[in-house]
Amino acid sequence: MSALPIHRRTLTGLAKGLKRREFSSVEVTRSYLGRIAASQPDLNAFITVTGEAALAAAAVADARLASGQAGPLTGVPLAHKDIFCTEGVLTTCGSKMLANFVSPYDATLVARLRDAGTVMLGKVNMDEFAMGSSNETSHFGPVRNPWNTAMVPGGSSGGSAAAVAARIAPAATATDTGGSIRQPAALCGVTGIKPTYGRVSRYGMIAFASSLDQGGLITLSAEDAALLLGAIAGFDPRDSTSVDTPVPDYTATLGDSLEGLRIGLVRQFFDKGLDARCEAQIRAALAVYEKLGARLVEVDCPNLPLSVPTYYVVAPAECSSNLARFDGVRFGHRCADPKNLIDLYRRSRGEGFGAEVKRRIMTGTYVLSAGYYDAYYLKAQRVRQLISRDFAQAFTQADVLVGPTSPVPAFPLGSKTADPITMYLNDIYTIGANLAGLPGMSIPCGFVEGLPVGLQIVGPHFSEARMLNAAHRYQTETDWHLQLPAAYA
Amino acid sequence: MSLSRSDIDKIAYLARLELTEAEIPAYVDSLSRIIDFVGELESAQTAGIEPMAHPLPGLAQRLRADEVLETDRHEHYQRNAPQVEGGLYLVPKVIE
């Protein structure tokens, strides 16, 4: 039997192969760099490829592997979402505003993964400032779905998901404010994890909505996610909302039995908006869980249907404050020949931000403005409390909640760009976890007309180990996560 | 609720965004629809419910002692600045 080609391996498989010296990190890195270059005209998944630096880092990793000083991730390549600051490397956040921004420092997540010996292949494309659900708002052009290039990859971490699905990177970092890890993972048929709010440092992760943003991962398997999450999770004094709670060994409990696990089916997740063909795949996945010993219980989250309107008050409000820092003075785009300071601000921002980002800044400005603050912002924060309580109540009856990640599979490019509300409703099943600060995952569970369907798992705060265990056990019974698009086989 | 052109002008000014003539009608339309959409929240029964201030229950903002922890790297940071002179950021004249 011939050895499995490099790109067909999971990150865990690559790490094992590197340890056994079946191949070198330089060979692995070169293989992925070649695949990135070949895919770029079709997928546009990368904004910046750091080939030379990657090969140099791979050579260092090989020396460590040779001298027996390697850690579990030494020499494994991956890609970073272009929202994470990388010292000395272009960090654009998918925006014209930061098209020339070379970060002067590393995000904590980037530094931790580098210190763990991983090799950065480059920076992947994304919706501008992570605002979008289709990767069509990027200043650097849309990313396309490797399963069908007429379709979107989802967003905002569309580059991360497409890169992993096409095996042009074995894993990628990502961020999730309203579903930006889970929804593209679902639409591209890969595994995504959004940890608990505060689990992964936000330092150096360009802020969109600070009470919702959380960094995480897109990988090929729950096992890969467990390995990487252990490296990026943990307290960081540089993030004021980072939580100081121990990081368990997520790989240690992957194989635990699911006997007696109470899986909650949230009634509101199986609403009339859910594509019947997707629902059939979700129900089939639930049958696998029953076979594994889990028990299904119906739970009710009556306020959950208000999660999208709540989000579209809270997130734009926070975005309008966070993006006030882009003023054309200290960094970022500056307009030509400003007449005065107001003109400098207005034209630099008007030219530097794309249409969706401006829409969200204005929505946020409106809901925070005098006379509207109580009616919109304060009201939304009260409803957010109700949604949060619904989840807390659900977790008295269930250990994890399982349902669809997205109401529909990947949709055609351009089909939802005319009406922002239609686009916003893509995140109807994912936003709740962000509002309540809960961890969530999406794992592949089947196909509809050749397009992947994602199964969402949501757990109580800091239950990542349990979620990963549930995801891993499903992935040992099924091989949806190992399917790959024919064009990238 | 329908927003007018002058509402959009006012919001854009508050947000320090210059919009082109071509952009304005699209924002009048889409912002009106978004404000209508989030208006659904009005129907929620929230009497006596505390607004949620932190996504994790029982946690508040962590504080630290006011000590200098970082070194001065302003030259390094100013490499990304559009216009700098003598270590200062330049902007158009503010006081006539």
Mean pLDDT of A337-348: 97
Minimal C-alpha gap between A293 and chain B (Å): 31
Nearest chain A residue to B77 by CA distance is A104
Distance in angstroms between the alpha carbons of the first and the last residue of chain B: 42
B42 Cβ under 8 Å from any chain A Cβ: yes
Do residues A457 and A443 touch, judged by C-beta distance below 8 A?
yes
pLDDT at res. B60:
76
Taking 70 as the threshold, does the pLDDT of residue A1 lie above it? no
Mean pLDDT of A354-373: 96
B61 Cβ under 8 Å from any chain A Cβ: yes
Give the one of A303, A339, A437 whose C-beta lies nearest to B56's C-beta.
Answer: A437
Determine, for residues A237 and B89 on separate chains, whether the beta-carbon distance falls below 8 Å: no
pTM over 0.90: yes
Classify strands A295-299 and A262-266 as parallel, antiparallel or unpaired: parallel
B47 Cβ under 8 Å from any chain A Cβ: no
ipTM over 0.90: yes
A346 CB neighbours in chain B (<8 A) are 13, 16-18
Cα within 13 Å of Cα(A293), Cβ side: 8
Classify strands A400-404 and A262-266 as parallel, antiparallel or unpaired: parallel
Q: Which residues of A368-392 are buried (b: 16+ CB within 10 A; e: fewer)?
A: bbeebeeebbebbbbbbbbbbbbbe
Taking 80 as the threshold, does the pLDDT of residue A85 lie above it? yes
DSSP H/E element including A262: strand A262-266
Class of domain A6-264+398-488: alpha beta
Question: Does B38 map to a domain?
Answer: yes
Classify strands A440-448 and A214-219 as parallel, antiparallel or unpaired: unpaired
Indicate the average pLDDT of chain A.
97
Taking 70 as the threshold, does the pLDDT of residue A2 lie above it? no
Task: Determine which of A321, A349, A382, A425 to mutate to test the interface with B (most B C-beta atoms within 10 Å).
Answer: A382
Mean pLDDT of A104-111: 98
Question: Does B21 map to a domain?
Answer: yes
Question: Does B91 map to a domain?
Answer: no
Question: Does B24 map to a domain?
Answer: yes
User: Domain coordinates of chain A in residue numbers?
Assistant: 6-264+398-488
Residues A301-341 have pLDDT tens digits of 999 999 999 999 999 999 999 999 999 999 999 999 999 99
Taking 80 as the threshold, does the pLDDT of residue A282 lie above it? yes
Domain around B38: 5-42
Taking 80 as the threshold, does the pLDDT of residue B95 lie above it? no
A101 CB neighbours in chain B (<8 A) are 80
Angle B33-B34-B38 (CA atoms, 0-180°, nearest 5)? 120
Residues A163-186 have pLDDT tens digits of 999 999 999 999 999 999 999 999
B74 CB neighbours in chain A (<8 A) are none
Number of separate domains in chain B: 1
Question: Does B72 map to a domain?
Answer: no
Angle A411-A415-A419 (CA atoms, 0-180°, nearest 5)? 120
pLDDT at res. B1:
72
A378 CB neighbours in chain B (<8 A) are 51
Residues A384-398 have pLDDT tens digits of 999 999 999 999 999
pLDDT at res. B59:
78
Determine, for residues A104 and B79 on separate chains, whether the beta-carbon distance falls below 8 Å: yes
CB-count exposure of residue A338 (10 Å: 0-12, 13-18, 19+): middle
Question: Taking Cα atoms as reference points, which of A112, A131, A316, A60 lies closest to residue A217?
Answer: A112
Question: Does B96 map to a domain?
Answer: no
A362 CB neighbours in chain B (<8 A) are 8, 11-12, 15, 17, 27, 31
Share of chain A above pLDDT 90, in %: 99
Q: The CATH number of the domain where B17 resides is what?
A: 1.10.20
Nearest chain B residue to A311 by CA distance is B38
Question: Does B35 map to a domain?
Answer: yes
Report the alpha-carbon distance of residue A230 to residue B11 in Å, rounded: 44
Mean pLDDT of A211-231: 98
Q: What share of chain B is helix, strand, coil (3-state, %, to 5)?
A: 40, 5, 55
Beta-bridge partners for A78: A120
Determine, for residues B35 and A306 on separate chains, whether the beta-carbon distance falls below 8 Å: no
Determine, for residues A309 and B53 on separate chains, whether the beta-carbon distance falls below 8 Å: no
Residues A10-40 have pLDDT tens digits of 999 999 999 999 999 999 999 999 999 999 9
Grade residue A433 by pLDDT with cuts at 50, 70 and 90: very high
Question: What positions of A carry a catalytic annotation?
Answer: 81, 156, 180
Mean pLDDT of A245-259: 98
Minimal C-alpha gap between A123 and chain B (Å): 19
Minimal C-alpha gap between A337 and chain B (Å): 9
Residues A441-453 have pLDDT tens digits of 999 999 999 999 9
Phi-psi region for residue A438, left (φ > 0), alpha (ψ -120 to 50) or beta? beta
